[in-house]
Amino acid sequence: MVDESSLKYWHDAGHVARRTLEAMREEITVGKTWDSVIQTAERFIRRNGGNPAFPVTIAVDELAAHYTTDHGVIAPEGWDREMVFENGDLVKLDVGVHINGHIGDNALTLEVGNKGKHTDQIKAAKESRDAAVEMLHPGTPWYKVGAAAAQPSIDAGFQPIRNLCGHQLKPWELHAGVSVPSYACGAENPGFKGVVEEGSVYAIEPFNTTGDSGLIQNIGERNSSNIYRVTSKGLWRKALSRKQLKPLGAQLARNLEERYSTLPFAERWAFPMLEKPFPEADEASRQSKWNALVKKLISIRFLETYHALGCKDGGMIGQFEHTAMVHSGGPEILTVS
């Protein structure tokens, strides 16, 4: 159940998340770079009283999710043109905001320019989100939420993505245990047992595709998203005492924990931490030190990282997302402007 004293944090986080998303809609135009929109969105969040709950992500065309630019602005593996918006691009923008750890998570899909190639898919993805949100009444089985999410896309001739889910939100927890299906998973599916619970907060984010498989796959190396997360707070102390970490590594781990707690952070946010301990290092040397540090922190299970995600068979991907709180009478959408 949501603590009454925290309601304002949930509402404010959702409000800032929605305002950011709508403001950035106007920024995604022909000739703009992905990185400029990402950076502008994160500045907007901070100027409006929030903090990013995760790095702002952009996914274009067959890319689905979990990609933000790194400090070197290197394109995702397999992306063979500049990271500049072109007329006809199908763009997913995912924005999360936290206020005192309470999270508003929302996303939209739009087409750059005026070709009108993706109008039906965008409409279906939005209707899928709204249909799923409408099912968020206490006691509703999750398989019914998934079936409701799937139907608008199926009716419009698109496949719901079956291996990406919505998720429960709790303070400082972006994925807080419960997964929300976005397809007709069936009543016996072991991954989606249980029901919608009153007082809980859920991010509802169905994806659809023009492809046939209805599946996404990992792209590139496991850190190809350029996104990391602290998985075990305080573990750096044990690692230091066991001589698994050197003092400098432990200090950097402590800094990451203090700045980001257990919420995801961007490589480009953290990379400048190496400037102070290594002021004379060139870019190649600093990159080598960062790679070694991250490898060590992953090996001791202090950090985890994520793959960028794309459609398994190259289909175009659409997505919309809201965060909703469940009351006795049904859902309250928190990501409203």
Per-residue pLDDT tens for 308-317? 999 999 999 9
Of residues 161, 35, 168, 25, the one with CA closest to residue 93 = 25
Q: What is the overall mean pLDDT for the chain?
A: 96
Q: How is the chain split into domains, by residue range?
A: 4-218+310-333, 227-305
- Non-local CB neighbours of 225 within 8 Å, separated by 6+ positions: 57, 66, 67, 68, 305, 306, 307, 308
The burial class, CB within 10 Å (0-12 / 13-18 / 19+), for 27 is middle
User: Are 55 and 269 in contact, with CB atoms under 8 Å apart?
Assistant: yes
pLDDT at residue 62, as a whole number: 98
Predicted pLDDT at 92: 98
pLDDT tens profile 286-330: 999 999 999 999 999 999 999 999 999 999 999 999 999 999 999
Residue type, 128: S
The CATH class, in words, for 4-218+310-333 is alpha beta
- pLDDT for 4-32, tens place per residue? 779 999 999 999 999 999 999 999 999 99
- List pLDDT tens digits, range 130-176: 999 999 999 999 999 999 999 999 999 999 999 999 999 999 999 99
Copy the structure tokens of residue 92. 């997913």
**Three-state DSSP state, 299:** helix
CA angle 265, 89, 17 (to 5 degrees): 40
pLDDT above 70 (res 2): no
With contact defined as beta carbons under 8 Å apart, do 93 and 108 qualify? yes
pTM, entire model: 0.95
Contact at 8 Å (CB) between 34 and 112?
no
Kindly report each contact of residues 236-243 with a partner whose C-beta sits within 8 Å and lies 24 or more positions away, as own/partner.
Answer: 236/297, 236/302, 239/300, 239/302
pLDDT computed for residue 1 by the predictor: 63
